[in-house]
Structure 1
Amino acid sequence: MSNLNRKILLLGNGFVAGPCLRYLLRREENIVTIASRRVESGEKLAKGHKRAIPIALDVNDDAALEKEIAKHDIVISLIPYTHHARVIGASIKHKKHVVTTSYVSPAMEAHDAAAKEAGVTIFNEIGVDPGIDHLYAIKTIEEVHAEGGKVLSFLSYCGGLPAPEASNNPLGYKFSWSSRGVLLALRNNARYVENGKPVDVPGAELMDSAKPIYIYPAFAFEGYPNRDSTPYNKRYNIPECKTVLRGTLRYQGFPKFVKVLVALGFLNDEEKDFLHESSAAIAWNAVLAKSLNSQSASEADLIKAVKAKAGLKDDDESERVIRGLKWLGLFSETPVTKRGNILDTLCATLEDKMQYQAGERDMVMLQHKFDVELKDGTKQSRTSTGLWFGEPNGDTAMAVTVGVPCAITTQLILDGKITRTGVLAPMDMELAGPLIKALEDEGIKMVDEIL
């Protein structure tokens, strides 16, 4: 590919796009078109960058999308994953490469044969989770196999969280993206492999499955399984592995608090007449009373009803939950922002009270733990650990650890260092090796230890 005028189409202008854009613009030959529904959004991102060109583009307009794709050498899709298959299809038609940070969906995978025939690379799952987690899992697994060993157990936990000093609310969590998306994920079913057998966790029991996860003594984490881990024996080429679990990290107390919200019906998105925008104003204590079928909206009566409904005992943990509900204002006469159902109405309050404030920073914690049997029968544990903090009033850790790997992958494709075609994810060292090296050059790395 020529070094002159490499044209990159960046779809989306969310918080991840900034670090991605700045990395790509280090190279004088790169010109980045920032496409967003409203050109003003792209203009804000492009400000101060001579080779960044903001445009307005509706990705649902197939003709307009294809017209822009045809002008460029490669497409980065940072828009919601539901649009990726459309973008990939249009890109293959015009023989353009694509990079996304999203999991490969069946709709995306369906384009594999066409991508190979067109000779284009469709590279996915290259953020932090999925992304950096894949790279260092593959690295250790291939090292163990090269030594003649076996991976008997693979446990991986990742969390995007407030830094400790910013975890100052009942959930120990703050929203850098859709609060609805975060809460809906807590209703997902999960599946993993334990001692050679699949274990299914219904969404209603997901928080019950949470347990303490010990990484560094300074952190009190709990973790629970994330989505479906059962394909990873095959994806990571560890058929011998008897336990495989990929999970989510949260601060201690988060699962208990969410479990109470579930018990109270606050993760329910069923429409409620009294929460329609056109309905009369209503306070949080009245909403809670309706949810609990309580005749009284007094704080004392509501607390009793909450404890009964959620099965809370009179202990310190329960008191912490009650204090958290008070902090959210659920026992108060504060008017709610009505959004049609309890879940979205709760989200309005969470978004108001649980945003990052000026000067606060986030962090990303990721650890793999491998139980290994060596060729001579010796058993050992290996870990790969990454901890990254955001910059106060600057880039978040999440934006950097998603945006920079995405940009690096894009650059490696442009430079001809990744040439494999089809719908890809970094599942072997041929793909993962160059990415690890480039990431470590940026100071983004995981630390490997043998225990």
Structure 2
Amino acid sequence: MKAIVLGMGLQGKAVIHDLEQSDLISRVFAADLGIDNTRAYLEQMGYAKTEAVKLDVSLEKDLAGKYMDMGVDIVICMLPIELALTAARAAMDAMIPFVSSNYTYQLQELDTPAREKGVLILPEMGLDPGIDLVLGRLAVDQLDQVHGLYSYGGGVPAMECADDNPIRYKISWIFDRVLAVYTREARLVKEGRPHVVPGDEIFSPDNVHEIEFPEIGRLEAYPNGDAQRYVEIFGLGKELVEMGRFALRWPGHSKFWHKMVKLGLLDDTPVSIKGAEISPRSFLTKWLTPRLQYTDTQRDLALLRVEAWGIKKGRKVKVTYDLVDYRDLSTGLFAMNRTVGFTSSIGALMILSGKITGSGVLSPAIHVPAHELLEEIKARGMHVDHHVEELD
């Protein structure tokens, strides 16, 4: 079978690597604007199944026709979210299933037409969202009543290299995207009611707490994204008291960025400086990006925790899943690339093998075989721990 991977950034490279290992895949098209760099990378890695293709999704007049001319059986999108809808609509028109690591957002508008055409669209197939949703399903299914569901996810420098810059952070994701969500409002359920944290308050001390990972230590968690939309997806009832999604960083991160947000240094409105127009956020992105890079011998660390608590057989219990992954120095793939890109690849392979079926816009929390995904990510070297404890 043939696959096309849109975007050869950090996550796209991980998808390519995983597809190369699959007996189900005979050919992969690596589609990107930078075809020379893509070819050089594929040659460097010695990939035998993958061919570089120059493609601009935003300008291609007949993207559906392009997919069909290539004879691809699945489209895997690792492009920025702004291009995901264009890529997915073309896949739908070509009657080809589509997988992405991006949040659903605008893709939801394709649900009805995709159902009518019998086309499967699977977004949110990454780390967070993605693996967290599948582990969340496993956790809540172990309870008779769910009173709370928390999800934590993040990428940080591994402990051995975390202290070689002043903010204990290095880049394993598009940095402008990271800074953009540092001013995005968060939606939680608190004391049984919807609760909104304004974008300029997510790093406020009142909204930050710490959790601890065995053998790693304490990390701080701040609210991240919209947890409320997952209440219905998980089928949670009126017994739900608390629900939240949180990002993880080394301690001190929130204190620093809270000040930066309050000073307006993450604003994206351009200002004029000596005749040049640039926004504070764009300047920070440009200035900090070369100063926050990993060396070839440094590892990042991807972390995920899902906690669900409630009632099981009349007893109060908490179910916890932890995932930990490190950069693979032999391939150069960061843990963040592996946990996002490998998961998208697994989703694509499950669709092609008939393990994920249906049509319309699907959700990993409902439609992905949870136990099988768990075994697949473990087989790729990710460590997952599960435990259940009784609460007082």
TM > 0.5 fold call: yes
- Residue 188 of structure 1 corresponds to 184
Deviation at 1:410, TM superposition (A): 1.0
- Residue 153 of structure 2 corresponds to 158
- Residue 385 of structure 1 corresponds to 322
* Letter aligned with residue 301 of structure 2: M
Q: Please state if 1:46 is matched with 2:45.
A: no
Residues 7-42 of structure 1 show CA distances to partners (whole Å, capped at 9, x for unaligned) of: 211111011122211221223552001111132132
Q: Please state if 1:36 is matched with 2:32.
A: yes
- Residue 350 of structure 1 corresponds to 288
Deviation at 1:117, TM superposition (A): 2.2
CA contact (8 A) 1:276 1:340 kept: no
Q: Please state if 1:250 is matched with 2:249.
A: yes
CA RMSD of aligned residues (A): 1.9
Query: How far apart, in 2, do the equivalents of 1:45 and 1:127 lie?
Result: 23
* Letter aligned with residue 34 of structure 2: R
Query: How far apart, in 1, do the equivalents of 2:274 and 2:173 lie?
Result: 24
- Residue 104 of structure 2 corresponds to 104
Query: How far apart, in 2, do the equivalents of 1:221 and 1:13 lie?
Result: 31
TM-score computed with the length of structure 1 as normaliser = 0.80
Q: Please state if 1:171 is matched with 2:171.
A: no
Deviation at 1:84, TM superposition (A): 1.5
- Residue 366 of structure 1 corresponds to 304
CA contact (8 A) 1:138 1:429 kept: no
* Equivalent position SS for 2:303: strand
Q: Please state if 1:90 is matched with 2:90.
A: yes
Query: How far apart, in 1, do the equivalents of 2:368 and 2:285 lie?
Result: 43
- Residue 202 of structure 1 corresponds to 198
Query: How far apart, in 2, do the equivalents of 1:265 and 1:225 lie?
Result: 20
- Residue 319 of structure 1 corresponds to none
* Letter aligned with residue 83 of structure 2: H
How many percent identity over aligned positions? Answer: 28
CA contact (8 A) 1:128 1:402 kept: yes
* Equivalent position SS for 1:368: strand
- Residue 132 of structure 2 corresponds to 133
Q: Please state if 1:114 is matched with 2:76.
A: no
Deviation at 1:429, TM superposition (A): 6.5
* Equivalent position SS for 1:391: coil
**Aligned in 2, Cα 1:356/1:132: closer, same or farther, shift over 3 Å?**
same
CA contact (8 A) 2:356 2:367 kept: no
Query: How far apart, in 1, do the equivalents of 2:303 and 2:312 lie?
Result: 28
Q: Please state if 1:423 is matched with 2:366.
A: no
Residues 185-206 of structure 1 show CA distances to partners (whole Å, capped at 9, x for unaligned) of: 1111111011101221111211
- Residue 2 of structure 2 corresponds to 7
Residues 260-281 of structure 1 show CA distances to partners (whole Å, capped at 9, x for unaligned) of: 222333223333322544xxxx
* Equivalent position SS for 2:278: coil
- Residue 440 of structure 1 corresponds to 378
Query: How far apart, in 1, do the equivalents of 2:158 and 2:86 lie?
Result: 37
Q: Which has the larger radius of gyration?
A: 1
CA contact (8 A) 2:187 2:228 kept: yes
CA contact (8 A) 1:7 1:31 kept: yes
Structure 2 gap segments, 5+ residues each: none
TM-score computed with the length of structure 2 as normaliser = 0.91
Deviates more, 1:49-58 or 1:24-33: 24-33
CA contact (8 A) 2:107 2:361 kept: yes
Deviates more, 1:243-252 or 1:231-240: 231-240
